[in-house]
Amino acid sequence: MNILITGGSRGIGKEAALKLSEDRNNHILVTGRNEKALRAVADSAANENISYYEIDLLHFEQHSGPFLDHVASVFSIVDVLVNNAGLLVNRKFSGLKQTEIRSMMETNFFAPASLIRTLLPLMKKGSHIVNIASMGGVQGSVKFAGLSGYSASKAAIACLTECLALEFSDMGIAVNCIAPGSVQTEMLEEAFPGFSAPVNAKEMGSFLAEFAVKG
């Protein structure tokens, strides 16, 4: 399978990519902002079947053309797209900057939407799109204050998933959403120092890897 995972340099995306690399028939392309970290993921592949592309999804529209060209040079078709990259700013709404809200919406919603639209020509019947939302986007920030902007952006991608699942059904392209609770990742640790989540990145990455290929 040809699998593209955004946010694959660390956390859930990294662990999912490494798990998927255990099947030598999988070819995984991971994206992220840190080339060194991406290279380390590729070097750790079980079957030398992970490649990478450095891109900041905050500015995806400016680079969508070269990105599509690169993906098309690696994959003739995209079997699985995992929109995993995310941005989280932990700050109460009264102190949240407009630029921070826009950055979260851009990374967590607009970039995945643009990626889907950009890569759609490379998808076929049987392709699978998996968007990573959050429980905060489904039921609000029950556990933590300070996640209003993040939760709103995740609610948007969850809603888009439902809409596209219907819209793409005639094409035979499945669109699903995973909404995890708190997972022990670098992003969580940066936002909530000292907090310990009940699930680690490797566990969630393994779940994501299986869900992405089996649906």
74 Ramachandran zone, left/alpha/beta (phi>0; psi -120 to 50): alpha
- Distance separating alpha carbons of residues 141 and 135, to the nearest angstrom: 8
Angle of CA points 202, 208, 210, to nearest 5°: 105
CA torsion angle for 17, 22, 23, 25 (degrees, to 10)? 70
Angle between helices 201-214 and 11-20 (to 10 degrees): 50
What b/e string do you get for 84-116 counting C-beta neighbours within 10 Å, with b at 16 or more? bbbbbbbbeeeebeeeebebbbbbbbbbbbbbb
- Distance separating alpha carbons of residues 96 and 90, to the nearest angstrom: 9
Indicate which residue of 150, 156, 160, 209 is catalytic.
Answer: 150
In the annotation, is 52 catalytic?
no
Which token pair is 168? Answer: 């793409």
Which token pair is 27? Answer: 């070819």
Give, for 175, the enclosing helix (H) or strand (E).
Answer: strand 174-178
Name the residues annotated as catalytic. Answer: 150
